[in-house]
Amino acid sequence: MPHDHDHYHDNELDPMAARAKALETILTQKGLIDPAAIDAIVETYETKIGPRNGAKVVAKAWSDPAYAERLKKDATAAIASLGFTGRQGEHMQAVFNIADTHNLLVCTLCSCYPWSVLGLPPVWYKSPPYRSKAVIDPRGVLAEFGVSLPAETKIRVWDSTAELRYLVVPMRPNGTEGWSEERLAELVTRDSMIGTGLALEPQAA
């Protein structure tokens, strides 16, 4: 499943992003940085290093019912018990996908994002088109990410704030009975923990 969605990239940058972009342009023109190297570093933190923490949380919830209950009642403490704490993740709530309900995360005001479990926010998450359409037409957003849900499935949108951030616990794929937490974590993608994707099927691991 693709992770970069160019249809959410636009030119309406917030002031901080615009300044960062201008600085990057100047440094590139002076030959002080390599844009390809910067892109590779960002991609690593967006899709590999950061989301691995969240994947471990989800895998433990899938395999340990007691931990799943702790995660539902006090996600901040449950996540911290695995060693994942820090800035942008002080106040967390876990929302669980179930057969008739799918959860989707957005931050309509800016780009609040649980860095401690998901790493750096992807560019599309911060873009105005995603932030507005996720609220107005969440099913349409999911379709653009390649996720097609039954018509009867409810989609619940959770709006993150500076005080509270969310983590989606996707549904555990069938055919994973008896799997270790390490193996289960390989099925958990960043997008599935935002709600713009689903957990991978066993054959994709």
pLDDT digits (tens, 9 = 90+) for 137-176: 999 999 999 999 999 999 999 999 988 999 999 999 999 9
E strands, the chain, where?
92-96, 101-106, 154-159, 165-169
Model confidence at 1: pLDDT above 60: no
CATH fold for domain 51-204: Nitrile Hydratase; Chain A (3.90.330)
C-alpha dist (Å) from residue 100 to 115, 120, 147, 164, 167: 28, 30, 15, 25, 18
Burial class of 81 by CB neighbour count within 10 A (0 to 12, 13 to 18, 19+): middle
Model confidence at 4: pLDDT above 60: no
Q: Which of 63, 112, 116, 160 is catalytic?
A: 112
Q: Which of 111, 127, 160, 192 is catalytic?
A: 111
| Residue 84: other Cβ atoms inside 10 A | 19
Question: Is residue 112 among the annotated active site residues?
Answer: yes
Phi, psi of 135 (to 5 degrees): -85, -40
What are the pLDDT digits (tens) for 25-80?
888 888 888 888 777 776 666 665 679 999 999 999 999 999 999 999 999 999 99
- Domain residue ranges in the chain: 51-204
- Measured between alpha carbons, how far is 61 from 71 in angstroms, rounded to an integer? 7
Residues 6+ apart with CB under 8 A from 109: 159, 161
Enter the pTM of the model: 0.78
Question: Is residue 116 among the annotated active site residues?
Answer: no
Q: Which of 63, 107, 116, 192 is catalytic?
A: 107
Binding residues for Fe(3+): 107, 110-112
Task: Compute, in degrees rounded to 10, the torsion defined by CA atoms 96, 176, 115, 196.
Answer: -60
DSSP 24: H
